[in-house]
Structure 1
């Protein structure tokens, strides 16, 4: 058994802005099942403390970090046996808005201090200097918000082994030299082989340069980030660290995302009762004011309305899409110009297009179950979870062949490979290529026997954490034995 401190800036259902929260909830649970001892470390945002009340919250330590009084609190992740330690630093985490930006949508100006304080607490826990009498063997860090942890631990001759997982390299945690100076970090860190990044400080680089091992969330993304077009200026460092880099495909929570027992659905179904899936579609069509028909293919999209997610591609081919006899349901939020453009289209075509701004977990489940086709035309996608949710729900994805999308969705015209087809894939990031893939999907939708075969292929694939958690366990064993 190994002791693992799992540091993350979000974990579902306590706080979620994206896929990191889902991973931070399900990977530790899978590791727990494998006999590992896992403690999740999370900032005590105002909303987290509120949600944690039902599970009970107690103070387990008080500490002082750079003159700030901090309380370390303990709770359980709702619905699990996982211990969560909350870093309660009111000056930094007791505020409205999401974890990284305020109600105005702009990043908090003190994010460098907020996540430095979080990293310092992680450092003290890892070195058993908080009075908990618990020393981890592994500190597993996730994305830029935790990038300083491996850097800080490197200053100590005896420290736990560190793993750093890149969920999205595009978010590098960039701050000015002034911010670096404010944190009183060792001057040696201001170096192009450490935290310095073209005249700025990068928290992400702290994890990449100092962690004992780096993982990314899919095999293809691990290869892509070693190339300039996907490396975000860090591809050279990724190539340098390639011997300590692995791509491990994220799993999904197969209890939470199970069409056979999903309490959010109007009608549950599985591979044997696939005919019941359409009842969810008709209920959603009625709810959203769309034309109610089982024979009209329903396309779904759930995600952030940002460049990365291919929203430009969707908008650029919208005229062609609207010429087809199909419907489109969108759930998401992001850049105002995307939100306005999509709402405008929904007003113009109320029987064909429904757009809901924001995020609603229950509604996301219903879209996954109700849609026939799921759009995921991301320009880049480290792993992606929605395409795996879609496959599990017999909703066939249309994806751009990048990252985890390439690793999970298959479309081959070669009959020898066609047995594993489970969706529709386009290679070039163009509106024309996306529309061609949508056309292939909508045409096949009307060939019911072939469509059902693809659905059964999709639903039969195992996307649980079982295999991936064992891969992480093997890495933990490897680096601790070194």
Structure 2
């Protein structure tokens, strides 16, 4: 097995900087790929948290002028991660979100900031760091979308490129008059380049020029090639369907392990599932829910948005909470949804508990203490929260879309009889479908033996990164064979 060098290019990486599942994927893949003979170094922007985490950084290159100011390319390690870091204070030395200013709007120079990420990736691909010359550049989401573009303009040999879509709803679209500022010639402002309905499309450009395209589940790979799921890029993806593949995400099963999780009131595993009761009681106490071991606790760990279907949970609350049922919610996002859940906590005291914001410990506690986890997304590229739920014995109740459809086996009659079921699916994704799923879950909850079988099945599933890493390694190697 020939060793490979892969440069991973991303705007966030766990555990240093995280806003969503992208960071989890980018942070976990390098360790898993090492088992496949693939050395990964990840290029990330030099946000304050990143430069602080970088141990004994070395200067690889100095840019006297780099998208509006001087910059340095640094290399070093942060924990187990090998990193290249773009140390450009004028672009990245800002507190808060990597993408949003304090007013909740995009940073006005995001085009330059993430063009810099693509430019540095292309430079490394052309040998800027002699100690690490990549065979493959793996670009993640729109923020890395210009890497294949800059490489396409270079002379001489170049690495192969893989573009991964984590969520096609986010595309990085900017005015055409930024072309020169981004260091792009007019020759690339075409339908076969960066032009996208008269503007510059970062994700579109990456998809147009990459050697391989992946997304994070097989079903989502099909959905994004339809007008309903492609968000305007379906035609491009159909035209390039021969190089499009779906590789399911995994979870870091060292971080997400109920037997060793320090955030839980009591660790547990398949052999002592009854210990979950302690975590359920602790969760009820933390979120102000009525202490009731027999109530079914529905959990939510999610961005609060229409995409995630949380409006369906709100609209179905009277049915969801009927009888001895409770809701434990952790999330942030749409202010209207936050306000509505806040109001629901007042209307249903002891039955609805909410925390608005990001709390890693509480995310683990909801997985380890809830009985069922709701993921009613209208579309979901892969989803990680349902995988964590299965690992922690919380039965996922999910919509039949994207990676949710690929990872959760519905508890229909046959699946229950054959011992294959791991959760509940519903469709279509509307209020009627969601309420039916709530009712199915509450009915099944009454059959303790059947419910425990769902829990044990989910906890036994292979949810780690070994299999996805093998698929990525095979993809990298096959891309090199077509040179």
TM-score w.r.t. length of structure 1: 0.96
Could you tell me how far 1:379 is from its partner in structure 2?
0.4
Alignment of 1:155-194 (within 5 A): 155-156=153-154, 157-194=156-193
Cα shift readout 1:256-294 (whole Å, capped 9, x = no counterpart): 001111111110111111010111000111222211111
Residue 378 of structure 2 aligns with which residue? 379
CA distance, structure 2, for counterparts of residue 416 and residue 398 of structure 1:
15
Could you tell me how far 1:123 is from its partner in structure 2?
1.1
Could you tell me how far 1:181 is from its partner in structure 2?
4.2
Residue 36 of structure 2 aligns with which residue? 34
1:327 aligns with 2:326: yes
CA distance, structure 2, for counterparts of residue 2 and residue 101 of structure 1:
35
CA distance, structure 2, for counterparts of residue 451 and residue 77 of structure 1:
42
> Which is further off, 178-187 or 188-197?
178-187
Name which of 48, 51, 59 aligns with 2:50. Answer: 48
CA distance, structure 2, for counterparts of residue 286 and residue 342 of structure 1:
18
Could you tell me how far 1:179 is from its partner in structure 2?
2.6
Secondary structure class of the residue paired with 1:72? strand
Could you tell me how far 1:68 is from its partner in structure 2?
3.0
- CA 1:296–1:58: 2 relative to 1, 3 Å: same
Residue 311 of structure 2 aligns with which residue? 312
Residue 211 of structure 2 aligns with which residue? 212
Name which of 128, 143, 146 aligns with 1:145. Answer: 143
Does structure 2 conserve the Cα–Cα contact (< 8 Å) formed by 1:40 and 1:84? Answer: yes
CA distance, structure 2, for counterparts of residue 429 and residue 6 of structure 1:
35
Does structure 2 conserve the Cα–Cα contact (< 8 Å) formed by 1:329 and 1:353? Answer: yes
CA RMSD of aligned residues (A): 1.4
Could you tell me how far 1:120 is from its partner in structure 2?
1.1
Could you tell me how far 1:56 is from its partner in structure 2?
4.2
Secondary structure class of the residue paired with 2:41? strand
Could you tell me how far 1:417 is from its partner in structure 2?
6.9
Does structure 1 conserve the Cα–Cα contact (< 8 Å) formed by 2:411 and 2:423? Answer: no
Residue 364 of structure 1 aligns with which residue? 363
Residue 347 of structure 1 aligns with which residue? 346
Secondary structure class of the residue paired with 1:22? helix
CA distance, structure 1, for counterparts of residue 130 and residue 86 of structure 2:
14
Secondary structure class of the residue paired with 1:463? coil
Cα shift readout 1:164-218 (whole Å, capped 9, x = no counterpart): 1110011011111123343241212211222111122110011100110001000
> Which is further off, 101-110 or 323-332?
323-332
Residue 71 of structure 2 aligns with which residue? 70
CA distance, structure 2, for counterparts of residue 385 and residue 184 of structure 1:
37
Name which of 20, 23, 26 aligns with 1:24. Answer: 26
Alignment of 1:208-287 (within 5 A): 208-287=207-286
CA distance, structure 1, for counterparts of residue 137 and residue 415 of structure 2:
44
Does structure 1 conserve the Cα–Cα contact (< 8 Å) formed by 2:122 and 2:151? Answer: yes
Cα shift readout 1:56-88 (whole Å, capped 9, x = no counterpart): 44434322335632112233232x2x3111111
CA distance, structure 2, for counterparts of residue 451 and residue 308 of structure 1:
28
1:426 aligns with 2:421: no
Secondary structure class of the residue paired with 1:162? strand
> Which is further off, 433-442 or 229-238?
433-442
Secondary structure class of the residue paired with 1:229? coil
Does structure 1 conserve the Cα–Cα contact (< 8 Å) formed by 2:390 and 2:459? Answer: yes
Does structure 1 conserve the Cα–Cα contact (< 8 Å) formed by 2:287 and 2:354? Answer: no
Alignment of 1:447-458 (within 5 A): 447-458=447-458
Could you tell me how far 1:438 is from its partner in structure 2?
1.1
Does structure 1 conserve the Cα–Cα contact (< 8 Å) formed by 2:68 and 2:90? Answer: no
Does structure 1 conserve the Cα–Cα contact (< 8 Å) formed by 2:60 and 2:73? Answer: yes
Does structure 2 conserve the Cα–Cα contact (< 8 Å) formed by 1:302 and 1:364? Answer: yes
1:398 aligns with 2:407: no
CA distance, structure 1, for counterparts of residue 26 and residue 183 of structure 2:
30
Does structure 1 conserve the Cα–Cα contact (< 8 Å) formed by 2:412 and 2:421? Answer: no
CA distance, structure 2, for counterparts of residue 319 and residue 37 of structure 1:
52
5+ residue gaps in structure 2? none
Secondary structure class of the residue paired with 2:329? strand
- CA 1:66–1:362: 2 relative to 1, 3 Å: closer
Secondary structure class of the residue paired with 1:308? coil
TM-score w.r.t. length of structure 2: 0.96
Residue 8 of structure 2 aligns with which residue? 6
Does structure 2 conserve the Cα–Cα contact (< 8 Å) formed by 1:61 and 1:132? Answer: no
5+ residue gaps in structure 1? none
Residue 470 of structure 1 aligns with which residue? 470
User: What is the number of equivalent residue pairs in this alignment?
Assistant: 477
Secondary structure class of the residue paired with 1:284? helix
Residue 109 of structure 1 aligns with which residue? 108
CA distance, structure 2, for counterparts of residue 229 and residue 46 of structure 1:
39
Cα shift readout 1:330-384 (whole Å, capped 9, x = no counterpart): 1111011111111111122230111111101111001100000000000000000
